[in-house]
Amino acid sequence: MFDDNGSFLLAMFEFFIFLAWFMCLWWIFGDLFRSKDLGGFAKTLWVLFIIVLPFIGLLAYLIVRGRGMNDRTLEAHREMQQRQEEYIKSVAGGSAGSSPTDQIASAKALLDSGAITQQEFDQIKARALASA
């Protein structure tokens, strides 16, 4: 298949170019569908343009909309982090963000039910008062 080292290196270079093109395609389609400022018709036109004329379409997208790609990615990450924090708070019962009085009251209820010891209650109370 490979007659000499030159043909092998050329094949590796072609593979690298294909992989780089595929990664750019992946990032651009991700950015395109994540974008909230484009409507469905504009997204369809961009997709068709990128599919029909792949290299020109990718370069045109990067020139026209490349400046905001990082901003849209950061916004998506912030939204994802906010949703994750809200989920964690909802699963944890909201005790991390509650007031020290609520934390002490819930710890007292646990102490009264026998779920925690007096020493654990004192530690929770000290932490709650220190965070106030």
95: phi then psi, degrees, rounded to nearest 5: -70, -25
Distance of CA 67 to the CA centre of its chain: 19
pLDDT confidence of residue 26: 92
Q: Tens place of pLDDT for every residue, the chain, 132 residues?
A: 667 777 888 888 999 999 999 999 999 998 998 888 889 999 999 999 999 998 899 999 999 988 888 888 898 899 999 999 888 877 765 555 577 888 888 889 889 998 889 998 999 889 888 876
Give how far Cα 30 sits from Cα of 12, 24, 25, 70, 98, Å: 27, 10, 8, 12, 38
pLDDT confidence of residue 86: 86
Domain ranges of the chain: 5-73, 94-132
What is the rounded CA–CA span in Å between residue 8 and residue 89? Answer: 55
